[in-house]
Structure 1
């Protein structure tokens, strides 16, 4: 009998073979079923390995990463004031560069001298020297103020650095999201190191064993965004459901490259299992960019040869732009058009002030190869980015949201999504090699929620807990749909 549905990919072939009517004997059927399953597993395993064959050298799984990670400390109050002084200097310098570029273009372009030769002469001229003096004076003042703050703290001989108040901590994380890579490049004390916090808001130091669940926040957010001290926070609700698990909160600089954060996160988790060998399972929950960082860590961990990857059981992403975020694409389009306008091209440099982490969200880039070969702060076009498949042993669950409260199955609803991420992107759906191939029954769409509502929604929390502890055992063949003002999750 001819196939009713064309077989476009190897996955369709496998799906068809499982549904093919059995016309052989029972004994032959059992053998064929077993060999078919082995065949599928082997082929999928080989496909998964294709992403890693370009790696020249794998890091040993027992590598010691303690030297770097043990010295990390959160941003203190003194760091905050010193960093602000440097940040003010950096802002003046950046604005001066933009103003000078506009001035230079207005003067040279009407004369037909807007070229590299005359621009180099500009720097040696009177006007160019004036701008250079402004930059030099700004750096000098900023460095002196920052040094004064640090010297004052040293003279007081404080043994313990005063931690940041919660409001300032949130502000620092926003600054890191907007310009975090610039902070790292300029060695600004405001740059946040990647660390793990416990449920009480302290750095993770106690002995761990059993199951560990790590929550990863999104862009411009912090570990405090999960409301770790509130009874209705996701972490606390998980502990109410299962008291013998450990919930940790990741805090990191969201302005850095997603692949850099993923590589660093992989080291943090390897450090964790090296010092706590009794950890039996690691589950990762990521909101927005946090889901991409978790995926990048899984990919990087396998490349690095780290054994923590084998302990990962579940990955849950909440509104993560696996196929990119529309808002960043629009921003890049506007910046590109401005750059081509006469006398306004220098204004496009304002777009370069946004962080590399935001730029990576354009297409959901989570591998170094998506940007290493490029000049400047950019990423490869979507059709050239590199795939990063999920490890086969990890159970992945994907959550999408849409602002629409009712079920409208049309393109506009999907594109609207949660206001920042489309439904298709959050569910990892793609027609090519970037599809995450997560089974439909492990996906959920929540209607009437925004991107940030996913962090606090009672409906989302219940679904996450159900997935974590396998409370839904009914067989499904389609994704979950959850609507407002209902008592349970609708299938």
Structure 2
């Protein structure tokens, strides 16, 4: 069995800042007292997938730190979005119309498709697109001018219904909003417990909560007196709770890079921060993992201050719903006269695409044409930093402990138990002690952030802060945690 040093060396090779291919001679001239001679290191040096992910055009938040979305931003963004929607729908309707007319007479080929645009029907569709674009662009420009002329210093907060609409739009098509510079695109920011942008000087321990797909920083505090932030403050009154807000439609790896840069700036501006703990629900856990990966790769010193990582129902190895969605899209694309409907699936955001297999690195998508991700077996591993204590929480809809494959696959309704616990075959398995894993029965995916039993367990982990891990006998005897709806106390 490889020594602990072997794992450390392998992790450093896979996630440190390597600007060029390692020299084999250098790799084999390591101190032989610490690293016994072996061909393993030569093979590792030659592996193609051990490389640094190069920054992409989405390396940072493209809209900058603009703060909360205003009401005028919503009107301007919806006007632009309506124009985009009409044009997209026109394209799809035209494609279906073209296929219905040409396919039955055997003329659905490249030559006749090119003639279609010059025909009467093609010109009509082109006119609809042109008029829609002109009217929409003029309306958007007018709203933009009005927005900038009447910009108030104190932006009024949006009503709850509009906030939810903005969050959902970002989750469903957030990358499209960024591409078209739509003001509805949510910038990445940190908020304090009073729902104001973080501007205060920080010191001591900081706990950052990262929300999931189509949600926001406000989603943690929907239930009055039943929020995870309040539970953590009650157990650790000296800690500071912050909430990350971000565009969940962007690539997970792009959000991870932006989050890493943000945390580096936070530590630079607040050097008295002693420890950072990251808690992520669903996609938020993947964004936190991506930030740790790129922070380690880029040599950012904020990573060394991270003590704990807790993920709640995060699809570390993918979400079943997205896999079902792409399967249905492929099936529709193969049907006669309905193939054009498959284009509707391309409107979903890149962030949702990344959830198919839990992709947290640029290398899983930036070499592919179009908008897709690498198949599961070709994903690039993103290992957990060895110094960070990682805790994984999985929910399951069943209320009893049934040792069956069906119960495990059902999971919390969106994510299987194995995916939430980071369990997979081969190199993609996330190595976490069994006592750092917890399964909560009778808890759905979204209720993981509101469930009192989950709150208590997370508070226990953070309060312990790794002290129990020092007891090797305790680690060897303890198994994963099981919590049931009728428990009086959390099982630990």
Shift of 1:409: 0.7
Which residue in the other structure is 2:490 paired with? 489
- Distance, in Å, in 1 between the alignment partners of 2:357 and 2:65 is 34
- Distance, in Å, in 1 between the alignment partners of 2:233 and 2:159 is 26
SS for the counterpart of 1:314 is: strand
What do residues 121-166 of structure 1 show as CA deviations (whole Å, max 9, x unaligned)?
Answer: 2223222221111112112222222222222334445343333233
The answer to whether the 8 A contact 2:415-2:445 is kept is yes
Shift of 1:351: 0.7
Shift of 1:414: 0.3
- Distance, in Å, in 1 between the alignment partners of 2:207 and 2:153 is 33
Structure 2 residue corresponding to 1:73, chosen from 67, 73, 82:
67
What do residues 449-490 of structure 1 show as CA deviations (whole Å, max 9, x unaligned)?
Answer: 100110100000000000001188454431000000211123
SS for the counterpart of 1:387 is: coil
The answer to whether the 8 A contact 1:200-1:228 is kept is no
What do residues 244-273 of structure 1 show as CA deviations (whole Å, max 9, x unaligned)?
Answer: 111000000101111111111111111111
Which residue in the other structure is 1:50 paired with? 13
What do residues 199-256 of structure 1 show as CA deviations (whole Å, max 9, x unaligned)?
Answer: 0000000000111100000000100110079432111111111111110000001011
The structure-2 alpha-carbon separation of the partners of 1:325 and 1:210, relative to structure 1 and needing over 3 Å to count, comes to same
The answer to whether the 8 A contact 1:208-1:278 is kept is yes
Which residue in the other structure is 2:341 paired with? 347
Structure 2 residue corresponding to 1:396, chosen from 385, 390, 401:
390
The answer to whether the 8 A contact 1:195-1:250 is kept is yes
Which residue in the other structure is 1:210 paired with? 204
Structure 1 residue corresponding to 2:316, chosen from 314, 317, 322:
322
Pair 1:199-2:193 in alignment: yes
The answer to whether the 8 A contact 1:402-1:450 is kept is yes
Pair 1:286-2:280 in alignment: yes
Which residue in the other structure is 2:30 paired with? none
SS for the counterpart of 1:205 is: coil
TM-score normalised by length of structure 2: 0.87
The answer to whether the 8 A contact 1:199-1:248 is kept is yes
The answer to whether the 8 A contact 1:216-1:223 is kept is yes
- Distance, in Å, in 2 between the alignment partners of 1:118 and 1:451 is 49
- Distance, in Å, in 2 between the alignment partners of 1:50 and 1:414 is 34
- Distance, in Å, in 2 between the alignment partners of 1:69 and 1:313 is 30
Q: Which moved more, 1:344-353 or 1:227-236?
A: 227-236
Pair 1:165-2:159 in alignment: yes
Structure 1 residue corresponding to 2:213, chosen from 195, 210, 219:
219
TM-score normalised by length of structure 1: 0.87
- Distance, in Å, in 2 between the alignment partners of 1:123 and 1:283 is 57
The answer to whether the 8 A contact 1:282-1:313 is kept is yes
- Distance, in Å, in 2 between the alignment partners of 1:221 and 1:324 is 19
The structure-2 alpha-carbon separation of the partners of 1:106 and 1:291, relative to structure 1 and needing over 3 Å to count, comes to same
Shift of 1:71: 4.3
What do residues 346-370 of structure 1 show as CA deviations (whole Å, max 9, x unaligned)?
Answer: 0100111111111111100111111
Q: Which moved more, 1:100-109 or 1:435-444?
A: 100-109
What do residues 250-307 of structure 1 show as CA deviations (whole Å, max 9, x unaligned)?
Answer: 0001011111111111111111111111111110000000000100111111122211
* Equivalent residues, number: 449
What do residues 345-401 of structure 1 show as CA deviations (whole Å, max 9, x unaligned)?
Answer: 101001111111111111001111111111111111101111100010000000001
Which residue in the other structure is 1:252 paired with? 246
SS for the counterpart of 2:428 is: coil
The answer to whether the 8 A contact 2:60-2:257 is kept is no
Pair 1:270-2:264 in alignment: yes
SS for the counterpart of 1:111 is: coil
- Distance, in Å, in 1 between the alignment partners of 2:378 and 2:333 is 23
Which residue in the other structure is 1:128 paired with? 122
Structure 1 residue corresponding to 2:453, chosen from 459, 471, 484:
459
What do residues 314-344 of structure 1 show as CA deviations (whole Å, max 9, x unaligned)?
Answer: 0000000001001110110010111111111
SS for the counterpart of 2:117 is: helix
Which residue in the other structure is 1:310 paired with? 304
Shift of 1:53: 6.4
Cα RMSD of the aligned pairs, angstroms, is 2.1
SS for the counterpart of 1:110 is: coil
- Distance, in Å, in 2 between the alignment partners of 1:441 and 1:253 is 33
SS for the counterpart of 1:249 is: strand
- Distance, in Å, in 2 between the alignment partners of 1:116 and 1:403 is 51
The answer to whether the 8 A contact 1:199-1:229 is kept is no
